[in-house]
Amino acid sequence: MYIYHLHEQYGWNDPNKTFIKPLIDGKYNEFPLARIMIIDSKSLKCRLDWQRHNDQWMDLKEGTLEECLKFIEEDDWFSHYFFEST
C-alpha cells in the first residue's frame, strides 16, 4: 500500500504547459510519501517505509498493519501532511 501526497502543480491551467506525468484531476501531481509492505498473509508482520527526497526508501516501523497505521496517525511529520495541510 502506497501513501501519496497530492500537490497542486504550478501552471496546471496554462494550456501551453506540458508535464512529464499526467496530472490527477487535471491539476495535481502525486508524490509518494510512504508505503506499507505486508509481509505475511494475516497482516501480522508489516513494514512501514518512508521515501526520502532522493527516492530511496527508509525503514520507519515494523509491526502489524494496525501498528503501522497507528504510527502514521500519531507521528508529527505525517500528521503535518495529513491533518494540518487541509
pLDDT digits (tens, 9 = 90+) for 38-69: 999 888 999 999 988 888 999 999 999 999 99
Question: For the whole model, what pTM was predicted?
Answer: 0.69
Domain that holds residue 44: 2-82
Q: Which residues contact 42 (CB under 8 A, 6 or more apart)?
A: none
User: How far apart are alpha carbons 28 and 30 in whole angstroms?
Assistant: 6
Percent of the chain with pLDDT over 70: 92
Q: What are phi and psi of 66, to 5 degrees?
A: -60, -40
User: How far apart are alpha carbons 57 and 31 in whole angstroms?
Assistant: 13
Contact 79, 73 (CB under 8 A): yes
Domain count, the chain: 1
- The reported pLDDT for the residue numbered 5 is 79
